[in-house]
Structure 1
Amino acid sequence: MGLLGYARVSTFEQNLDLQLDALKEAGCVKIYSDKGISGAKAERPGLDEMLRNLRPGDTIVVWKLDRIARNTLNLLTLVEKLDAEGCAFRSLTDGISTDGPMGRAFLTIASAFSTLERDQNIARTSAGLAAARARGRVGGRKPSLTVGQAQQVKALYEAKMSVTSIAATMGVSRQTIYRYLELQNESVSI
């Protein structure tokens, strides 16, 4: 009988420390994690390993509901599986424990709201991106060179100036110059 922690972040740039600290403070004897894996992915190596190592009497602990489940159905299916194996589930931030019937009922309600919040965030983000595109704005990094500078790069290259010299003149890397030359003329070799 032990507390097993699970932590997950969606991107490699995100940090697990907050979740790991909370799980350690909660008394987890072992913590499994997935980094750079979306909650929408069905296969998560850390979660899969934890589920393989479960023993009756264990309790899975997460920092927040959305760290372990993609949606309400996914969470309820997982909790049902845990219950069948004689294990419990606990979410620290949400204050939920499936030790009793009230906990399971509250889990269903909280999970539905968590799914709603996620879906609303996705809808707001999509609407914001669409509005930005309608105003002519596109996402991503700004180009390193203006259209005029890109034409100048081509002219300098055709005048037999070295890529290193062009890069120094433009204040960009050699790779950027190669990239612009490839965009303007696919026959230019790197």
Structure 2
Amino acid sequence: MARIGYARCSSEDQSLDVQIARLTEEECQPIRSEKMSGASRDGRTELAAILDFIREGDELVCLRADRLGRDTRDVLNIVHELDQRGAYLTVLDPHITTRGEAGRIVLTTLAMVAEMERRFIKERQKEGIAQAKAKGIYKGGTRRVDREKVLAMHRTGKGPAAIAKALGCSRMQVYRILDACEGAQTAA
């Protein structure tokens, strides 16, 4: 029976160190981590790998419920998939496990709070952008990945995984850039 750790943060400039250290203290092996939004499961390849290979009796461990996801349905679907495989989930802060019904109720509540928190963040972001636009100081988001480097590497025959690794970004970001550029070429 394995204790499989999962760590996630939303952006490249955030650190996974605290989560990984705590999962290591809990003797999780292996520990999978990724820097992807928790708004949905799309593009979260490390989580998908865990769910593909987790076995009966194994335990998926994460620091907080919002690290698993910020969508109630996604979190509950993950718990359901674990149930189907005879595995279970443990959240460390606060300590919750799906081994019993009480833990499932608390986890459902925490997943709903995480989703609500994500909505509040988006609302505050929209308000801030609207205020900045009204003041004439809004410049838009900054690109985190150099599009030209992605395209140049792609033209030399490198695949999305190699490009992502070389540039320190996710494959999903590479795919988005390639798709956007192909769409622009088709429209031209």
TM over 0.5: yes
- 1:104 and 1:139 map into 2 onto residues whose CA distance is 44
Residue 62 of structure 1 corresponds to 62
Cα deviation for residue 140 of structure 1 reads: 5.6
Judge conservation of contact 2:70–2:111 (CA < 8 Å) in 1.
no
SS of match in other structure, 1:119: helix
Residue 37 of structure 2 corresponds to 38
Which segments of 5 or more consecutive residues in structure 2 lack a partner in the other structure?
142-188
Which one has the largest radius of gyration? 1
- 1:131 and 1:67 map into 2 onto residues whose CA distance is 30
Superposition map of 1:67-146 within 5 A: 67-139=67-139
Q: Match for 2:17: what amino acid?
A: D
Cα deviation for residue 126 of structure 1 reads: 1.1
Deviations 1:40-90 (A, max 9, x none): 351312111111220100110011112222300100011011012111101
Cα deviation for residue 13 of structure 1 reads: 2.0
SS of match in other structure, 2:136: coil
What is the TM-score normalised by the length of structure 1?
0.69
RMSD: 1.6
Equivalenced residue count is: 140
Q: Match for 1:114: what amino acid?
A: A
Judge conservation of contact 2:7–2:67 (CA < 8 Å) in 1.
yes
SS of match in other structure, 2:131: helix
- 1:18 and 1:66 map into 2 onto residues whose CA distance is 15
Residue 10 of structure 2 corresponds to 10
SS of match in other structure, 1:125: helix
SS of match in other structure, 1:29: coil
Higher RCO structure (Cα 8 Å, ≥6 apart): 2
